[in-house]
Amino acid sequence: MSVSLKNFGFRRKSGILMPISALPDAYGIGSFGKSAYEFVDFLAETKTKCWQVLPLNPTSYGDSPYQSPASVAGNPYFIDLEILKDKGLLTKSDLSEHKYKGNRVDYGRLFNTRYDVLKKACRKFSESGGYKEKSYKNYIKKNSGWLPDYALFMALKEHYGYKPWTMWEAQHKDVNKARLARKDFDEQCNFWQWVQYEFYTQWQALVKYAHEKGIVIIGDMPIYVAHDSMDVWQAPEQFLLDENFNPTVVAGCPPDGFTPDGQLWGNPIYNWKKMESDGFKWWCNRVRESFKMYDILRIDHFRGFAGYYNIPYGHPTARYGKWSDAPGIALFRTIRKNFPKAKIIAEDLGFITEDVRELLADTGFPGMKMLQFAFFDEDSENLPRTYETPNCVAYPGSHDADCVKTWCKNISGAARKRFNRECPHKKGQSRTYDLLEFALNSSANLTVVPMQDYLELTNEEGRMNVPSVAEGNWTWRLSPRYKTAGLINKIKNITERTNRAM
């Protein structure tokens, strides 16, 4: 297998990591509306080739896109209300009460208000004969493998006051029995199907515009799914569950110097033996749906496909977990057979062992290099001078890491000395931009910079997520005043200077 970035058509390109949720918008969260198109224009003006987004899945408890109630569905909050108004599905007065001036995403407010206005638009769509439109009927038909169950799952979630599906009545807890009762929830199911149709229609229009501007989209696939999800409800046999549908073991990370209790993620673990016995059908379906959305797919926590850390269900910390074997190359050979042109990036950060390195080499996927990890060892594999191949993606930081400005301020001791020695300082340039240029100057065929770092924001101003912290994450929003001539020229110049211009 060989899926190098060179095969992607990349020779020294750059990207910006910018979540949809963080785009400027008048209604409390980023969307696929005007500001998204303006961001595409911004990428083109700065000579940036790639737009990397965080997972577009719906969010639930904790507001994390990595704990979604449906791995292949889209987030209803990203549907642009102004576009719905332009389609005649909403009026100006419908929108006025949903305007929000806060500079952070308020997920509680969105949960309590956004579905009401979407239901109003859906009713107008239905009344105008939208369900009979060819485009709508084609979408329903093409997504028949997951969409009806997703719509029923969400209708039942509403019915039960959003309680976990394991707390539903027996006739709805079992997916096969629940399907027989679908007629009792027809109106609700039609709404959730329309939500996905509108999400997909708006997203595809935005992607088309990006392609016209020469921009490709990098998506993000979380390795695990949430227990309280359509995925587990629909196919419980694909997960390690007990007779009550509770997990027997859950996912996480072992203790280390930064987290003495480890990280307890709580996701159910896959029944890999079952998955392998049926030809990894579940994974092939998931990959197929992902490539309907993205040009390139970054798979999160790649090391979990070589070996995964699992903790007995009910333990309060990740201290007492163990490592178990995963299917490794067998899965990716199946994916390659079914999707020979699939473009995949492996997030190979964290506790990396020889079996993970072998799996990465066997797949040929480009791995990731994180420069914030590069200065704690003398010859770290994250240091640009140690890159063995340009078939990798360099990041100065990520959505899970410090903003570079804060990181530069806090680094100390031997790591600070290595940073000062290894990372060249350009006269008149901040150390933040020194590190960005260091990443962009590396031999990596692709370098991706979080938008917060181009803006030189601190953690207090722009950090997206702090792993293992349950609250306060995923709320950062970009100022609507970001698109200045000064910033455009600054990014364009550093992109051209490092030979990564489009």
Residue 45: active-site member: no
Which entry of 300, 355, 362, 377 is annotated as an active-site residue?
300
Give all strands of the β-sheet with 322-325 in edge-to-edge order. Answer: 263-268, 249-253, 307-312, 322-325
Active site residue 38: no
3-state secondary structure of 297: strand
Identify whether 347 is a catalytic site residue. Answer: yes
- DSSP characters over 413-456: HHHHHHHHHHSPPPTT--HHHHHHHHHHTSS-SEEEEEHHHHTT
Residue 69 near residue 153, CB atoms below 8 Å: yes
First CA to last CA across the chain, in angstroms?
Answer: 28
Rounded distance, CA 67 to CA 58, Å? 9
Annotate 201-266 with DSSP letters as a single string. Answer: HHHHHHHHHHHHTT-EEEEEE-SS--SSSHHHHH-GGGB-B-TTS-BSEEEEE---SS-TT-EEEE
Question: Is 192 within 8 Å of 154 (Cβ atoms)?
Answer: yes
Q: Name the residue type at position 139.
A: Y
Q: Which tokens sit at 366?
A: 């480009």
Given the residues 106, 295, 355, 400, select the one marked as catalytic.
400
Q: Using an 8 Å Cβ cutoff, are 416 and 388 in contact?
A: no
**Residue tagged active-site, from 347, 348, 434, 456:** 347
Amino acid at 266: G
What does the alpha-carbon distance between residue 361 and residue 329 come to, in Å, rounded to a whole number? 10
Catalytic residues, which ones? 300, 347, 400
